Structure 1
Amino acid sequence: MRARLIPVNPAVGAELHHPHRPHPVIWTAGRAARRQQSGERPATAVWTEQQLAAFLTDLAQDSLYAAWWLAALRGLRRGELAGLRWTDVDLQSSELTVAQQRVHADVQVVVGPWKGSASCRVVALERETVRVLIRHRERQEELSATAGDRRQDSGYVFTTADGAPPRPDHLTGRFRRLVAASGLPPIRLHDLRHGAATLALAAHTYLKVVQAMLGHASIVLTADTYVSALPEVAHEAARETARLVLNAASALGRQLGS
């Protein structure tokens, strides 16, 4: 149309279907019990903090424990975990930089493009996460010293037995098997990212901070897709709301209800 080769844009009348974004569902005891009966599971599910703690506690000796930890508490994507290098990690400053991701391109794994400019970000780390990464690095150095020339020094934080960075689908398959063996309600590896947002909000983190942690360009995506309310948080909100009204009635010298 700009070149005036056609008088009308044929795409003007097209009707686009808005994709449905599944909202994360918390695996409460009731939902887990219903799943045992029906076998159904939500498209996107999130563990409670107790379920996550049980999973991580049982996997303390797993070689990829630090990867599951970063996904669950800092919200890193699968490709970001596979692409994380030690040069991106600053344990002295307690932060890491998500500078690249490794993704599948047909049958190959390549350093791929970002989903958006906000994906390249600095992620703050707290004391326990730093400790987890230090311990992971020590184990990696022990393996390198034992294997000698048989193990390459790729510089990646997470590696296979020969020192090479893992394929993203290897992380997915490994996580799926660990979840199945744990006996916990099923979730996907990407669901840990949803859970990280939910836990951060439960810890009274500002939504804007959660958006930056996840690398979202829009806060609407963070709020609408990645955040669910943990049951205890929702109940606390209900209690605090009622308390406001009850305190106001008390200040007026009146009593609500019977």
Structure 2
Amino acid sequence: MAARKRNPNGAGSIWQRKDGRWEGRVYVPQPDGTRKRKTIYGATWEECDEKRQELVRRDRQGIPTPTRSAKLSEWLPYWLEEYIRPQRKRTTYVKYEMHTRLYLVPLLGSRRLESLTTANVRRMISTVTAQASAATAKEAHSVLRTALTAACREELISRNVVQLVPAPRVEPRELRPWSLDETLTFLEAARRDPLYPAFVLAIALGLRRGEILGLHWRDVDFDRRTLTVRTTLNRGGKDLYLDSTKNRRARVIPVPLMCVAPLRWQRLRQANQRAEVGSKWHDNGLVFTTRSGLPIEPRNLYRSFLRITESAGLPQVRLHDTRHGCASLLFAAGVAPRTVMEILGHSQIAVTMNVYTHVNDDHRREAMSHMDRLLKRRR
């Protein structure tokens, strides 16, 4: 029988059990920051010592080793607070937290990380699809996959079973941006609305809703006729907050003349409101505010957009679809794709080309008319 060997302090201990097997115990860090004792077993002293050394190595590298496999209801909140909140944008954290709270924890929270199966994931997808939609189920699938990828990096599990389950297929929504005539009809109908300058920026510059409402006067240069997009206003739970742009980069956009007069009118109108309110005015430097200077709720901007659309008898589209219309008009005017990408604030030109450009019937008819010329029968 091999003699018992001693390990240095802090490296755990190994002894032989009455049944002949070897047993060891090592204090290891937990995902929550505490330390607990983990027990290991081996048929021989060498096998047990190899497991002990692995635990000591993980400890010295600061890698948590749970004494028991964590449940998803334990791991997901920890992952959100320790991985997502400090490293990702707040909008991402809010979206991930919503999917975790509404779907992942209620449906999979009782499962332990190492015992999660592909069947569990498939049932989750089916349930979320039935409760909400395939698009929501696809996002929940993505959130769970990201969470388990982090668990794999921490060596809490050996594989990510979510990667073995394909995400549900979502049929792309058919987009039909307004034609030029429809766009002009909307602008004419919105001219008397207090938020008319915001709609002009959405249509002429393709700004996102949050970028419009997060615009500051310091970023508007009337002399150079430029506008710098650097912040966005978002709704996160009960809070309205300012954040960086979607790709975390500021962009400078030349302002067409049609935007200058509405912006000057907005500055004058806001100055009159500030004078009326006096000391109760909330001075935050935003271009678009309520009568007291507070930020405008993003949903209210969208409600005004839908109201004007209906009153003008136009096909209903999303406010975000004005970005698609802006891109299509710029391409129709012969603007280079790279320039359109910079104006819209995309990080990849493929997004600009594949998603935000649309060809209308007039362009198709013009293109196919060339066939009459090219294939005309010789005489």
Q: Give the match for residue 186 of structure 2.
A: 55
Question: In 1, are the aligned partners of 2:230 and 2:245 still within 8 Å (CA)?
Answer: no
Structure 1 letter corresponding to 2:190: L
Give RMSD over aligned pairs. Answer: 2.5
Report the 3-state secondary structure (helix = DSSP H, G, I; strand = E; otherwise coil) of the residue aligned with 1:139: helix
Question: In 1, are the aligned partners of 2:206 and 2:327 still within 8 Å (CA)?
Answer: yes
Paired residue for 1:181, among 311, 317, 321?
311
For 2:220 and 2:276, locate their aligned partners in 1 and report how far apart those are by CA, in whole Å. 24
For 2:276 and 2:251, locate their aligned partners in 1 and report how far apart those are by CA, in whole Å. 35
Kindly indicate whether residue 165 of structure 2 is the aligned counterpart of residue 14 of structure 1.
yes
Kindly indicate whether residue 258 of structure 2 is the aligned counterpart of residue 111 of structure 1.
no
Question: In 2, are the aligned partners of 1:84 and 1:98 still within 8 Å (CA)?
Answer: yes
Q: Give the match for residue 146 of structure 2.
A: none
Question: In 2, are the aligned partners of 1:79 and 1:168 still within 8 Å (CA)?
Answer: yes
Question: In 2, are the aligned partners of 1:21 and 1:225 still within 8 Å (CA)?
Answer: no
Structure 2 letter corresponding to 1:172: Y
Q: CA deviation at 1:68?
A: 0.4
Tell me: CA distance 1:137–1:6, structure 2 relative to 1, closer, same or farther (3 Å).
closer
For 1:88 and 1:62, locate their aligned partners in 2 and report how far apart those are by CA, in whole Å. 23
Kindly indicate whether residue 132 of structure 2 is the aligned counterpart of residue 132 of structure 1.
no
For 1:8 and 1:157, locate their aligned partners in 2 and report how far apart those are by CA, in whole Å. 50
For 2:278 and 2:360, locate their aligned partners in 1 and report how far apart those are by CA, in whole Å. 47
For 2:170 and 2:208, locate their aligned partners in 1 and report how far apart those are by CA, in whole Å. 21
Tell me: CA distance 1:123–1:11, structure 2 relative to 1, closer, same or farther (3 Å).
same
Tell me: CA distance 1:257–1:161, structure 2 relative to 1, closer, same or farther (3 Å).
farther
User: Per-residue CA shift, 1:176-227, capped at 9, x if unaligned?
Assistant: 2221222111111111111111111121111111111111111111111111
Tell me: CA distance 1:68–1:13, structure 2 relative to 1, closer, same or farther (3 Å).
same
For 2:229 and 2:252, locate their aligned partners in 1 and report how far apart those are by CA, in whole Å. 6
Could you list the runs of 5+ residues in structure 1 that have no partner in the other structure?
26-45, 247-254
Q: Give the match for residue 253 of structure 2.
A: 123
Report the 3-state secondary structure (helix = DSSP H, G, I; strand = E; otherwise coil) of the residue aligned with 2:164: coil
Matches within 5 A, 1:225-236: 225-236=355-366
For 1:241 and 1:212, locate their aligned partners in 2 and report how far apart those are by CA, in whole Å. 34
Q: CA deviation at 1:115?
A: 2.9
Paired residue for 2:230, among 92, 99, 114?
99
Tell me: CA distance 1:8–1:58, structure 2 relative to 1, closer, same or farther (3 Å).
closer
Q: Give the match for residue 88 of structure 1.
A: 219
For 1:8 and 1:97, locate their aligned partners in 2 and report how far apart those are by CA, in whole Å. 45
User: Per-residue CA shift, 1:7-63, capped at 9, x if unaligned?
Assistant: 5554553334465443522xxxxxxxxxxxxxxxxxxxx111111111111221211
Matches within 5 A, 1:29-40: none
Tell me: CA distance 1:106–1:81, structure 2 relative to 1, closer, same or farther (3 Å).
same
For 1:51 and 1:5, locate their aligned partners in 2 and report how far apart those are by CA, in whole Å. 56
Report the 3-state secondary structure (helix = DSSP H, G, I; strand = E; otherwise coil) of the residue aligned with 1:238: helix
User: Per-residue CA shift, 1:132-174, capped at 9, x if unaligned?
Assistant: 2122222222333344334333311111121212011111112
Q: Give the match for residue 175 of structure 2.
A: 24
Q: CA deviation at 1:87?
A: 0.8
Which deviates more from structure 2 when the two are superposed, residues 180-189 or residues 105-114?
105-114
Question: In 1, are the aligned partners of 2:221 and 2:227 still within 8 Å (CA)?
Answer: yes
Report the 3-state secondary structure (helix = DSSP H, G, I; strand = E; otherwise coil) of the residue aligned with 2:285: coil
Could you list the runs of 5+ residues in structure 2 that have no partner in the other structure?
1-151
Question: In 2, are the aligned partners of 1:23 and 1:224 still within 8 Å (CA)?
Answer: no
Tell me: CA distance 1:9–1:55, structure 2 relative to 1, closer, same or farther (3 Å).
closer
Paired residue for 1:73, among 197, 200, 204?
204
Question: In 2, are the aligned partners of 1:78 and 1:190 still within 8 Å (CA)?
Answer: yes
Higher relative contact order (CA 8 A, sep 6+): 1
Give the TM-score of the pair, scaled to structure 2: 0.55
Tell me: CA distance 1:175–1:5, structure 2 relative to 1, closer, same or farther (3 Å).
closer
For 1:181 and 1:191, locate their aligned partners in 2 and report how far apart those are by CA, in whole Å. 18
